Structure 1
Amino acid sequence: MASVSGRPEEAGSHSTAPTGAKTFDTPGDYNLIGLWTLYQKEVRRFAKIPAQTVFAPIITTLIFLVVFSLALGGAGRTTAGMPFLEFVAPGLIMMAVVQNAFANTSSSLIIAKVQGTIVDLLMPPLGPGELVLGIVAGGVTRGIVVGVAVGLGMLPFVPMALPHPLAALAYLLLAATLLALLGTLGGLWAEKFDQTSMLTNFVVTPLSFLSGTFYAVDQLPEPFHLIALANPFFYMIDGLRFAFTGQAEGSIAFGFLFLLALNIACGWLAHRIVSSGYRLKS
């Protein structure tokens, strides 16, 4: 990525220090042009291969619907007082959002490390906060785009309304941002593709499947009910289900605050790790 700066004095700088000439982020000191360039680069990564990044999740979701409605008799079942397909649809949308947000940021960093192009992120005059924000924003964009595409793809098969659009927007943004931050942390930690795949297979996928996507957590016996309530993915899916159906198993306000706190904590941690140069400068 070319070195771009919104400040004339930095545009002429020849510093080669990691993370550019900036080691801090203060209000009024942001490189907005560089941040926008990094964001565009992250978006173009997934926009160049829409068959893999957008259309594949739609096909996967529709396969889930076929399995539930035909093979398992989901079309005639009810869960939590609503038709099963209407119950499961928001969860499938959220699963697509979080998995793609995580994949975008984690793959971006690990590919840059393996190919040796990580220097293209470290050399420009971008501070740690700008690096994290640009990478995370790209992941959030992919997650939201895929979520909207999956929802539109399901419309011919599942009747869906949206009585609480602001709740849908809030929970989609919180969920996509959290998973994009977790993908960033995973990409910073990982040194090879196997390690990012391990995070996907043993953390992201199990938590998303065990979050009440396909069943009501109120039906679980103890202690599994309490364990489900400790899963942040449950609040993501429950919040989006509330936005689509007006019904929720947990507290919408608590879920919002819980996810917000996790976002703040993960954002702070990602900023600290990038500032330290952990597994980036060596």
Structure 2
Amino acid sequence: MADFVEMGIRRFGRWNRLGLYTLAEREVRRFLNVWSQTLLAPLATAGLFLAVFALAIGPARGAVMGVPFLHFLVPGIIMMTVIQNAFANTSSSIVISKVQGNIVDTLMPPLSPAELVAGYVAGGVVRGVLVALTTGVVLLLLTGSGLAHPVWAAVFVLLGATMLSGLGIVAAIHADKFDQMAAITNFVVTPLAFLSGTFYSIEALPGGLQWLIHLNPVFYLIDGLRHGTIGVSDSSPWLGLLVCTVTTAAILALCWHWFRTGHRMKA
């Protein structure tokens, strides 16, 4: 057994805990230094969404899936802010480093590909969770809603932040300029956030569109958080957990592979 462990350490190397902690701390401090943009702005945006729907539709909309419309909206808005901010944290960090030419300062230290992925993702997850807490507390208080299944809610918030942090790394490694990153954000991430059941139940869609949305992992993130928040959902939370876990693992594996090979990062 000891020989097997020693062989594993030689094969994969020891974890550089100090380096990993330093990278994660840098990523967290980076967004905390501008907390008004990274934490307060998402709260304001979420509040505006809720206010607009309350004023434009309000009680006239009636119940959705057996719950008041505003209660139905809250988990979708929370998850939307989580995935947008988790994605933005990792993608902006790497793209800025690539454009400014100092990405080498991150690649040169003795950090393995797994440690690089973990460090960047940690920053995105912390930002996503903080956004979920601040936005969630305010919106739940405003609507008088509660948490039907807190554990499920926490699981899907963490999965959403992790998945989109990894996707942010993939997008940033692929992009070489700010306008390329903006295109990915505007034409991929934003539509995923808006068109995955954030503001409506997929029961209202034709059968063909329902089938298409079920292929979208972000739908399961929103649906899972809705189950954890108000206790209703369009699909089983266990199915959502499986789909989101597999998707997140695949994205993180691609991040690891690209860091290991230096894809579009090493000249």
Aligned to 2:147: 162
Amino acid at match of 1:156: L
Q: Equivalences for 1:55-204 in 2 at 5 Å?
A: 55-74=40-59, 77-204=62-189
Equivalent residue for 2:212, pick from 227, 242, 246: 227
Aligned to 2:238: 253
Amino acid at match of 1:216: S
Report the secondary structure of 1:156's partner residue.
helix
**CA displacement, residues 183-229 of structure 1 (integer Å, 9 cap, x when unaligned):** 00011111001111111111111011111111110111121111111
Report the secondary structure of 2:45's partner residue.
helix
Paired with 2:122 and 2:24, the residues of 1 have a C-alpha distance of 7
Aligned to 1:266: 251
Report the secondary structure of 2:244's partner residue.
helix
- In structure 1, the gaps of 5 or more residues are 1-23
How high is the sequence identity, in percent, across the aligned residues? 48
- In structure 2, the gaps of 5 or more residues are 1-8
TM-score (norm 1): 0.89
Amino acid at match of 2:43: I
Distance 1:70 1:116, change over 3 A: same
Cα deviation, residue 25, structure 1: 9.1
Paired with 1:253 and 1:27, the residues of 2 have a C-alpha distance of 33
Aligned to 1:35: 20
**CA displacement, residues 121-160 of structure 1 (integer Å, 9 cap, x when unaligned):** 0111101110011001101111111111111221332112
Paired with 2:209 and 2:172, the residues of 1 have a C-alpha distance of 31
TM-score (norm 2): 0.94
Amino acid at match of 1:273: W
Matched, 1:243 2:224: no
Aligned to 2:30: 45
Amino acid at match of 1:145: L
Cα deviation, residue 76, structure 1: 5.7
Aligned to 2:6: none
Give the paired residue count. 259
Tell me how large the CA RMSD over aligned residues is.
1.5
Distance 1:279 1:28, change over 3 A: closer
Whichever structure has more helix as a proportion of its residues is: 2
Amino acid at match of 2:123: G
Amino acid at match of 1:279: R
Report the secondary structure of 1:106's partner residue.
helix
